[in-house]
Amino acid sequence: MPAFLYAYPRQTVLITTRAKIDILGKEIEKDNIITIDWHMPVSFKPALYAISIGKTRLSHEMLRKSECFVVNFMPYSLKDKVLFCGRTSGKLIDKFKGTGFTKKEAATIDCPIIKQSLAYLECSVISELDAGDHTIFIGKVLKTQESKKGKRVFHIEEDRFTTTQ
């Protein structure tokens, strides 16, 4: 087992993005959702948040183009939909339709928010760091909103999740 797996369980979040991308030879504006465990706050002043995205992922391409993202903190009750977003490519499937998540427009960036989230961070990319097969995108937090209280999703391993007490 790789050493970093000892860092689990980790809170799982959904990152939402929007960008114009080429799909099957046609440029379209697309909204997408990616499930990640590798994320963290990195500064209080200014408020900065880092996310790590695999270089082969559609969201990686979309982040590079849009230079913004939303971190959606999801309730444990929606763990199956969180898993769906992590196991499904957004290239040919609309993950909002596939999960039934409702889109809400961000106030400070051109990006969707998942209405069912417990809280979210609207972020504008200010820096990228090459990290092997991933890129760490550092976003300046432009808006933070808590929608409701609830138990959050934590990833244990493979398709197993837990929550806080």
- Residue 52: its pLDDT value, please? 98
Q: Cα separations (Å) of 19 from 27, 85, 91, 129, 143?
A: 10, 18, 12, 21, 20
- Residue 1: its pLDDT value, please? 46
Question: What does pTM read for this prediction?
Answer: 0.94
Domain ranges of the chain: 9-162
Give the span between the Cα atoms of 88 and 72, in whole angstroms: 18
Q: Tell me: the pLDDT tens digits for 71-88? A: 999 999 999 999 999 999
Q: Give the residue from 99, 122, 164, 97 showing the smallest Cα distance to 17.
A: 122
Q: Give the residue from 49, 30, 66 showing the smallest Cα distance to 141.
A: 49
Q: Phi, psi (5° rounding) for residue 159?
A: -100, 25
- Residue 3: its pLDDT value, please? 65
Architecture field, domain 9-162: Roll (2.30)
pLDDT exceeds cutoff 70 at 2: no
Q: Tell me: the pLDDT tens digits for 139-152? A: 999 999 998 999 99
